[in-house]
Homo-oligomer: A and B are copies of this chain.
């Protein structure tokens, strides 16, 4: 993925998530092309993808703007994710292979390594967490489900959530993964589904709690009291 359209995608996404661009800001193709150092063609592809990701909205006249991300929107996304990823866990339990099971255990051990030190390695946690959830999707074996979820999992939200975790929250996440693996070992789809749904919902509340007090929308810069 060293193509210009991918770099443009990452660049624009980064600008949105870092707060360099705020909700509602217009995204003009030519301006972005200059900033990203590419032509408009890859910019258009990137914007199309970001629109699918719901980080960008388009008016009826095809102008693009940075999407608004209210807490309600995030709640909406998390609820859908809980449902779909719960379903994925159920399917995964029914279709689990020994190979993937081993990989899952390895993955959760790596998560443990990352968080069980005085100074938790949040990035390592995120990497292995992502890998673990990807393994569940792989075991579920539904391309459509994978597609839907990747469009739904806003990695930035996960990032923000994890960076507000306290040691106990990390431990909780690891413990839930362990339960999930137990459910997989026993091929207990209903259990796996319940654990996963709870796992996602817990993450949402962690996000919502961390979000409390922030009066501004996600990605918006602080402006101080008027």
Contact = CB atoms under 8 A, between A and B. Distances in A.
Closest 7 CB pairs of A and B: A76-B142, A148-B148, A76-B144, A77-B144, A80-B144, A83-B87, A80-B145
A95 interface: no
Contacts of A142: 76, 80
A142 B48 CA distance: 20
Interface residues of A, number: 20
10 contacts: A41-B41, A48-B48, A76-B143, A76-B145, A80-B142, A80-B144, A83-B84, A147-B151, A148-B148, A148-B152
A54 interface: yes
Main secondary structure of the interface of A (DSSP, over half): helix
A144 B152 contact: yes
Interface of A: 41, 45, 48, 52, 54, 73, 76-77, 80, 83-84, 87, 142-145, 147-148, 151-152
